[in-house]
Structure 1
Amino acid sequence: MNISLTTELEQFIQSQVATGKYASSEEVILAGIRLLEERERIYKGRFEELQREIMIGIEASERGEVVDGETVFRHISEKLQQRRQQAGE
């Protein structure tokens, strides 16, 4: 596989090698790919978690366990205000 990089990316890779953190350009690229793999795993896990939470909400809604939007936003606003006050203390 051949990969073409922009001048900026080549310079970045070379600077990473120059710091001594990586022994070669290949190590820098492999580290970047590993980070991408990890990020994808995290996103996939979060996506699946959100799907489960949505299903819980749908099921609760079907049982009639709902709260009107104004109440929800008021509650969120109150929590946010409390956190701001705590952070300011």
Structure 2
Amino acid sequence: MAQIERMTVVFPEPMAAQIRAAVEAGEYATTSEAVRDAVRLWSDRRQMRANDLERMQQAWEAGKASGSAGEVDFKVLRQEARQRLAELNDDRDL
């Protein structure tokens, strides 16, 4: 079994009430279980952010390494984007 460390955490009353309500509703057996679940979600979210940041950094580096795209005609770019958006909206209407 994993080693356990006791910690004291102080919550504002509205948060504490939410945790107690979740336990009373049977969503969790104890307040500790509810807090552990919250910490797991927080940890997962931090990992997802780190993964997203790594992917963005890789994409940035790949983009820089690919060289210049040359001149960009923003009028044409906007028209193409509007066309793709219109096509997406048409597909949703089906």
Q: Which residue of 1 aligns with 2:83?
A: 78
Q: Secondary structure at the match of 1:17?
A: helix
Structure 2 Cα separation of the partners of residues 82 and 75 of structure 1: 11
Separation in 2, partners of 1:42, 1:69: 35
Gaps of 5+ in 2: 1-6
Is structure 2 residue 40 aligned with structure 1 residue 34? yes
Distance, in Å, in 2 between the alignment partners of 1:69 and 1:28 is: 54
Tell me which amino acid in the other structure corresponds to 2:85: L
SS in 1 for 2:18: helix
Show structure 1 runs of 4+ deviating over 3 A. Answer: 64-67, 71-74
Partner of 1:46: 52
* Structure 1 unmatched runs, 5+: none
Q: Distance in 2 between matches of 1:57 and 1:51?
A: 10
Once superposed, what is the RMSD of the aligned Cα atoms? 1.7
Change (3 A) 1:67 1:84: farther
* More helix per residue: 1
**SS of equivalent residue, structure 1 residue 5:** coil
Change in Cα spacing, 1:48 to 1:26, as seen in structure 2 (3 Å) is same
- Distance in 1, matches of 2:32 and 2:71, equals 54
- Number of aligned residues: 87
